[in-house]
């Protein structure tokens, strides 16, 4: 398995990517947190005062959704360029090319974990209770990683051949942002669409994050099964597409 065989290389690639992202400083991380926090504040101001949603801890509710969404959007967008961005590792030497995509997804994953940890002091400040269900976070986050990695495999491989894919994916992500219950409560969704709505694994994941982090509820087994099922399918499909398309990477990069 390439992940274990090349663990040293993956570690190296992840670290160098994180170093670039945060300019090797804590302040770099603080800057990167500014974006979701500001977004949360703006949305909070707009929705709380204009639409008057009755959702307890609406600020935290928003922030969890935004941070969870950021892993998908940043993870897939950066991982998409993982093959194209390292031409010398594709054309001059053989390494399993999945490693490049894996490392970038992993780097986004670590960033995401850091962002989630910022929630804890915020919860204390805003007086939200911290429940035992928070211990399920690693499980949920790991399942999410599998989904994002599966998507990234498809995207990074296709991007080698279609260089405007990032524009298209950007638009799809924007649609996804509004289709998922990030900035509004699930109760807003009309009952007749609710079934289809919750089939979206991202919707389910965001609900799970809120359950375990904010509301202290255990997600149902069905939640885990659905999300895990999507993960397996995405990963299998992504790996197959990647394998097939990687045959001509060295010529196209």
Partner 1 sequence: MKEKNKEEYAIEVNNVSKSFRIPHEKRVTVYDNLVGCVTGKSYSYEAFEALKDVSFNVKKGETFGIIGRNGSGKSTMLKILANVLTPDNGYVITKNKIAPFLELGVGFQPELTAVENVYLYGAIMGLKRAEMDTKIDYIFEFSELEKFKDTKLKNFSSGMYARLAFSTAISTDPDILLIDEALSVGDEAFQKKCAEWIENIKNKGRTIVFVSHDLNSVKNLCSRCLLLNDGKVSCMADTETVIAAYRKIMNTSEDEIETAHVPSNDETDILHIEEPAGMIGIPEQTETAEPIEVKNCMQHIENLQAVKVNETTEISYDNLLSSNVHIGEYTYGNPQIFIWTDRYHVHIGKFCSIDDNVKILVDGDHRLDWVSTFPFGHIIPSIRKNIDHHKGKGDVIIGNDVFIGYGSIVHSGVKIGDGAVVGAGSVVTEDVDNYEVVTGNPAKHVKYRFSEESIEKLMRIKWWDWDIEKISENIELFESQDINSFISKFIKGSG
What is the binding site for partner 1 (CB under 8 A)? 5-6, 8-9, 11-12, 16, 88-95, 161-165, 168, 247-248, 250-251
DSSP secondary structure of the chain? -HHHHTHHHHHHHHHHHHHHHHTTSHHHHHHHHHHHHHHHHHHHHHIIIII----TTHHHHHHHHHHHHHHHHHHHHHHHTTTTT-HHHHHSS---THHHHHHHHHHHHHHHHHHHHHHHHHHHHHTPPPPGGGGGHHHHHHHHHHHHHHHHHHHHHHHHH-TTHHHHHHHHHHHHHHHTTTSS-GGGS-GGGHHHHHHSHHHHHHHHHHIIIII-PPPPHHHHHHHHHHHHHHHHHHHHHHHHHGGGHHHH-
Alpha-carbon span 251 to 160, nearest angstrom? 10
Q: How far is the CB of 4 from partner 1 (least distance, A)?
A: 11
Q: For residues 49 and 88, which CB has a smaller minimum distance to partner 1 in the complex?
A: 88
Q: For residues 144 and 159, which CB has a smaller minimum distance to partner 1 in the complex?
A: 159
Q: How far is the CB of 232 from partner 1 (least distance, A)?
A: 27
Q: How far is the CB of 169 from partner 1 (least distance, A)?
A: 10
Q: How far is the CB of 209 from partner 1 (least distance, A)?
A: 33
Q: For residues 160 and 208, which CB has a smaller minimum distance to partner 1 in the complex?
A: 160
* Tokens at 43, concatenated: 């949305």
Q: For residues 15 and 126, which CB has a smaller minimum distance to partner 1 in the complex?
A: 15
* Tokens at 72, concatenated: 């998908």
Which positions ≥6 away from 81 have C-beta within 8 Å?
104, 156, 159, 166
Q: How far is the CB of 97 from partner 1 (least distance, A)?
A: 10
Q: How far is the CB of 40 from partner 1 (least distance, A)?
A: 34
Q: For residues 161 and 196, which CB has a smaller minimum distance to partner 1 in the complex?
A: 161
Q: How far is the CB of 251 from partner 1 (least distance, A)?
A: 6
């Amino acid at each position: 398995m390439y992940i274990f065989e090349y663990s040293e290389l993956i570690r190296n690639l992840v670290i160098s990517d994180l170093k670039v992202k945060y300019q090797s400083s804590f302040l770099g991380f603080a800057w990167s947190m500014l974006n979701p926090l500001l977004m949360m504040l703006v949305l909070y101001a707009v929705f709380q005062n204009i639409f008057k949603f009755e959702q307890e801890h609406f600020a935290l509710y928003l922030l969890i959704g935004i941070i969870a969404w950021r892993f998908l959007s940043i993870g897939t967008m950066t991982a998409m360029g993982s093959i194209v961005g390292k031409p010398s590792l594709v054309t001059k030497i053989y390494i399993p090319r999945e490693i490049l995509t894996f490392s970038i997804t992993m780097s986004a994953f670590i960033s995401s974990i850091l962002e989630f940890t910022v929630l804890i002091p915020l919860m204390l400040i805003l007086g939200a209770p911290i429940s035992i269900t928070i211990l399920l976070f690693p499980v949920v986050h790991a399942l999410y990683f599998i989904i994002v990695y599966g998507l990234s495999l498809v995207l990074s491989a296709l991007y080698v051949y279609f260089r405007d894919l990032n524009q298209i994916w950007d638009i799809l992500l924007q649609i996804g942002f509004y289709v998922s219950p990030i900035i509004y409560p699930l109760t807003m969704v009309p009952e007749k669409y609710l079934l289809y709505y919750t089939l979206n694994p991202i919707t389910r994941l965001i609900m799970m994050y809120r359950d375990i982090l904010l509301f202290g509820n255990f997600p149902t087994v069905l939640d885990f099964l659905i999300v895990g099922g999507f993960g397996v399918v995405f990963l299998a499909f992504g790996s197959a597409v990647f394998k097939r398309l990687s045959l001509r990477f060295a010529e196209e990069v």
